Chains A and B, each alone.
Chain A
């Protein structure tokens, strides 16, 4: 069990990884990755029952995680590497020809820790629900986690999955939304208007939990609340800030899909403590 201070130190390194990876790749999605870093760190370093040494794609004996918002690959790759799924040195190959770290997560070359390919939005919650049902059919006690974007929630299939998971009483399914209010073309409420996600998920028959996505105590408490075996799937709405942790990237959609320059990367590094050693 990690404490908030330890998680905060890991998250600082993950943010360094994200900015350095995207800078080297000269493309990618740093903003959303920085915004969901604290939640992803808490997930992999405290919440999920998993073991990189015995991990298999079928999630036997372990919890599973599906990243429906596949463009958040930088934070996913960093957290997986720092948790021990593969050598953090691999992070430097993001988006390069021949890399296991494709622009969006991919299972083709068996990247350890990755359960499913993603990138085309709106599909991951269905897959996570399928894994959750598979575990129920097998009488397996583990949980399945799924990361969604708030902009992504404009996709109709998210709501098909929402209806279906509640109908099948998948209380072993814990989805969480990166509710940063930004998408690639601007603020979510200006572009797509997902509206009040609390009301929508409640109406769809889910237990809805709200939490502060940059406060580890709030994050850990939300996950704990999501363990209720009450016959309902869980949706945690994490209030986050896109680009969090780097002052010139924070709070704007402008860094959704843009790489920093080497100078900007250097500036960011001054704001993020190196805690676990750069790759």
Chain B
């Protein structure tokens, strides 16, 4: 089984900030916008290097979406950044009309996603955003797993022709993928090959899944870990291929039970290869204040809980 090394904990939003600078250097059409969260979104380096291409929008997210659509109409490639809740739920109708139905090439940079935003509590911890964005026709939904992959996914999002929802987070998490690994929107990355169970996940839970696979290996169970860095369009063939080998899966996500990765995978599996699935998610509830580590444990997003869920899935074969 392939072992991954934590190259040092770092926040995925910093990967976005670094990727944004790289995308800006590659393509002069790239502009960055935020609603009073330049520092939180790690846009400082971009703003310093490209002051004319950084557009501060103030605390007015709805207007920011419309302005981005207008800039995209003129040929720019705007990234609009805010906390996940404020750049999805707060502006759903704006994204629907101005970006999705308007067919504008806007990239949504969504930071502080999920409960691991931590201490700010449930008003800021969206667990519904993937569902909202998946529901929009033509919207790509990308959830990279660490700093390096978020950086590479940001560059890929800039190059993608069409709207992209790019989700990342606040807490420092292990950085374990290669810095220059190619990233392709629409592809599942098989992190580990295995034969007994698939652990299908996205975002920083990929690291937890890899740790779970090591725990399971010690118990003689071979787990395959799938990094679904693009939740939509979903690489269905990769999901089915893995399940053909393993015969069961755990689908884990830092999102509630509705409309996220779990239901996306379940709909493919139901149609193409009915197989036992276990789900680890935020169920039907709001988050609460706490440290990211406390919340990960309380919500069962940690490696030990994923390993337990994997065994449960195997038991249902």
- A: residues with CB less than 8 A from B are 57-60, 64, 66, 106-108, 115-120, 122-135, 137-138, 156-157, 160-161, 163-164, 167
Contacts and interface: CB of A to CB of B under 8 A. Distances in A.
B70 interface: yes
Contacts of A164: 57-58, 60, 63, 67
A160 B73 contact: no
Contact of B97 (A119, A128, A156, A161): A119
B66 A58 contact: no
Among A118, A126, A128, A164, max chain B CB count under 10 A is at: A126
Q: What 5 A-B pairs come out closest when comparing CB atoms?
A: A130-B70, A126-B66, A134-B74, A160-B63, A130-B67
A157 B63 contact: yes
Main SS at interface, chain B: helix
Interface string B45-78: 0000000110101101011111111111111100
A224 B288 CA distance: 57
Contacts of A160: 60, 62-63
Contacts of A60: 75
Contact of B73 (A57, A120, A156): A57
Given A123-B97, A126-B66, A157-B66, A133 B55 contact: yes
Contacts of A129: 63, 66-67, 70
A134 B64 CA distance: 14
A131 B73 contact: yes
Nearest to A140: B74
A133 B102 contact: no
Contact of A138 (B55, B63, B74, B103): B74
A117 B97 contact: yes
B57 A117 contact: no
Contacts of A66: 70
Nearest to B63: A160
Given A116-B102, A160-B60, A133 B93 contact: no
22 contacts: A59-B74, A60-B75, A116-B70, A117-B97, A118-B97, A123-B62, A126-B62, A126-B70, A127-B102, A128-B70, A129-B66, A130-B74, A132-B70, A133-B71, A134-B70, A134-B73, A134-B75, A134-B76, A157-B66, A161-B67, A163-B58, A164-B58
A136 to B, nearest CB: 10
Nearest to A106: B101
B193 interface: no
B102 A163 contact: no
A201 to B, nearest CB: 16
Contacts, number: 114
Contacts of B31: 137
Contacts of A128: 70
Contacts of A123: 62, 66, 93-94, 97-98
A58 B75 contact: yes
A130 B69 contact: yes
Contacts of B52: 137
Contacts of A64: 73
Contact of A120 (B53, B74, B97, B103): B97
Contact of B66 (A107, A124, A156, A163): A124
A130 B66 contact: yes
B62 A127 contact: no
B73 A115 contact: yes
A131 B94 contact: no
Nearest to A57: B73
A117 B70 contact: no
A127 B73 contact: yes
B217 to A, nearest CB: 50
A127 B74 CA distance: 11
Contact of B74 (A58, A106, A108): A58
Contacts of A167: 58
A131 to B, nearest CB: 4
Given A58-B74, A107-B103, A130-B67, 18 more contacts: A108-B101, A116-B104, A123-B93, A126-B64, A126-B98, A129-B66, A130-B73, A131-B73, A133-B67, A133-B70, A133-B71, A134-B73, A134-B75, A157-B60, A157-B94, A160-B60, A163-B58, A163-B60
A123 B66 CA distance: 6
Interface string B94-126: 101110011110000000000000000000000
Nearest to A115: B73
Contacts of B62: 122-123, 126, 156-157, 160
A133 B68 CA distance: 10
A124 B64 CA distance: 12
Nearest to A157: B62
Nearest to B31: A137
Contacts of B69: 116, 126-127, 130
B173 to A, nearest CB: 34
Given A123-B94, A161-B66, A131 B60 contact: no
B103 A137 contact: no
Nearest to B78: A130
Nearest to B94: A123
Task: Name, among A106, A122, A130, A167, the residue most crowded by chain B CB atoms within 10 Å (CB to CB).
Answer: A130
Contact of B76 (A137, A157, A161, A163): A137
